[in-house]
Amino acid sequence: MRRYVIVGTGVAGIAAAEAIRQVDPQGQILLIGDEPDGYYSRPGLAYFLTGEIPEKQLFPFRAEDFRRLRLTWWHDRVTRIDPARHVLQVQKRPEPVRYDRLLLATGSAAVRPDWPGIDLQGVVKLDTLPDARTIRRLARKAKAAVVVGGGITALEIVEGLLRHKVQVHYLLRGDRYWRRVLDEEESRLVERRLAHDGVRLHYRTQVAEILGRKGRVTGVRTTDGRVIPCQMVAVAVGVRPRLALARQAGLRTERGIVVDEFMQTSAPDIFAAGDVAQVYDPRAGRAVLDVLWPVARRQGQTAGYNMAGHTTAYRRGTPLNVTRLAGVTTTIVGQVGQAGPEDEDLVGIIRGDSEVWRDIPDAIVAQEGFDVNRLRVMVGQKHLLGAVLMGDQTLSRPLYTLIERQVDISAIRPALLEGRRPVADVLADFWSQWSRDHGTPRAQ
């Protein structure tokens, strides 16, 4: 009987366990993780923070779902892996644990800057459910908070604090919000809505020191000498893969654990999936990281199939992220960012941000928009490369399909670029015809 050990209790680990059980009904599955709350939806933390969903709604699995998988769950921490002997050491157990197949789904962790005062009570992040609980608890008494970070997670914290009626100071290192993904008008749209909600935006501002008294946050001193009084400091400057175990085991690592298209690492019988995995992408010709919940699920499933002997290649699809920016529903598909120097606003990888958005070939941008309904598409020579939709989401599914399937848009390329007709109308008409011709259900 084959023994499968999965390190990590997030979506990649659970998806792997489900896939293994589909292929191997009899094998032993051991799940090991030190996350105190087990398996829950990380994307849902933002909505729990604002009070839009209750905590219980964060948990996608019920007790019977775990019983169906017939797995053993240890709340523990793996301290060492010996690939040659096929064993690992667990903190609470003296004897080595044997494995036939091992999956590392250790995820990523929020970047922790080395600012003076970073350990003061009142400094928070939004990486786990306990983090979200802490923010909610502190926000009940806090009058003001400083939020630092340039991506999606920072805005999730801002919105959560606003719901608790906390005065928010939002610090941006650059001259606008999320400049490597959004264009200037999109950034300004977000900023205007934040300002309307009472957020105080501080451009080209960095933290020099977090100030405190009796172990608690009292303010932030910026690099230009200003002091912003506050009782909370929220840090959202990116995440980094948890690589300590992989490096100790001698696995090949770069920005993440390098794996092939079967999620296999450089060591026999050891696989990796999720935020920690750097997966070879044939289209890009290199191994890349994707820190997205649906991607982690697909990678975990692929790893599970291969661990159980059902050979399955992972195909990296078109990145898709549906989020909310300053209250505006926003869909980001494929390649939409701008090439350039190291991101001014981010350190590491943003939760929910795919690095494919940062590797943009030469393309022409067609765009239009008004108020909070905005559409921007990246137009290549024959295909759409990416799109940003803010507000009206009618075209989100059609655009994803056109980009994912690399549909030839040569027939409408001139119309997209000339700008005589609204871009949305051109795309809607093209989609209507294409979906009829190819049997794809029309957008609702």
pLDDT at 363: 66
Strand 200-202 vs strand 207-213: parallel, antiparallel, or unpaired? unpaired
Tokens 């008004």 belong to which residue?
Answer: 370
Backbone dihedral region for residue 38 (phi beyond 0: left; psi -120 to 50: alpha; all else: beta) = left
For the entire predicted model, the pTM comes to: 0.91
The span from the CA of 414 to the CA of 432, in Å, is 18
Task: Express the helix, strand and coil content of the chain in percent, nearest 5 each.
Answer: 30, 30, 45
Return per-residue pLDDT of the chain as tens, 444 residues.
Answer: 999 999 999 999 999 999 999 999 999 999 999 999 999 999 999 999 999 999 999 999 988 999 999 999 999 999 999 999 999 999 999 999 999 999 999 999 999 999 999 999 999 999 999 999 999 999 999 999 999 998 899 999 999 999 999 999 999 999 999 988 899 999 999 999 999 999 999 999 999 999 999 999 999 999 999 999 999 999 999 999 999 999 999 999 999 999 999 999 999 999 999 999 999 877 667 788 888 889 999 999 999 999 999 999 999 888 888 888 998 999 999 888 754 444 444 433 444 555 555 555 456 667 665 456 899 999 999 999 999 999 989 999 999 999 999 999 999 999 999 888 999 999 999 999 999 998 765 443
Q: Give strand pairing partners of 211.
A: 219
Assess contact for 398 and 424: CB atoms under 8 A.
no
What tokens appear for 346 in the block?
A: 């981010």
pLDDT at 444: 39
- Could you tell me where the beta strands, DSSP code E, fall in 214-316? 216-222, 227-229, 232-235, 239-241, 257-259, 270-272, 277-281, 286-289
Tokens 């007790």 belong to which residue?
Answer: 63
The span from the CA of 77 to the CA of 311, in Å, is 29
All domains in the chain, ordered by first residue: 3-108+240-307 (3.50.50.60), 112-235 (3.50.50.60), 320-438 (3.30.390.30)
What tokens appear for 423 in the block?
A: 């871009």
pLDDT at 372: 65
Please choose, from the candidates 11, 88, 95, 96, the residue with its C-alpha nearest in 3D space to the C-alpha of residue 251.
Answer: 88
End-to-end CA distance of the chain: 49
Assess contact for 422 and 430: CB atoms under 8 A.
no
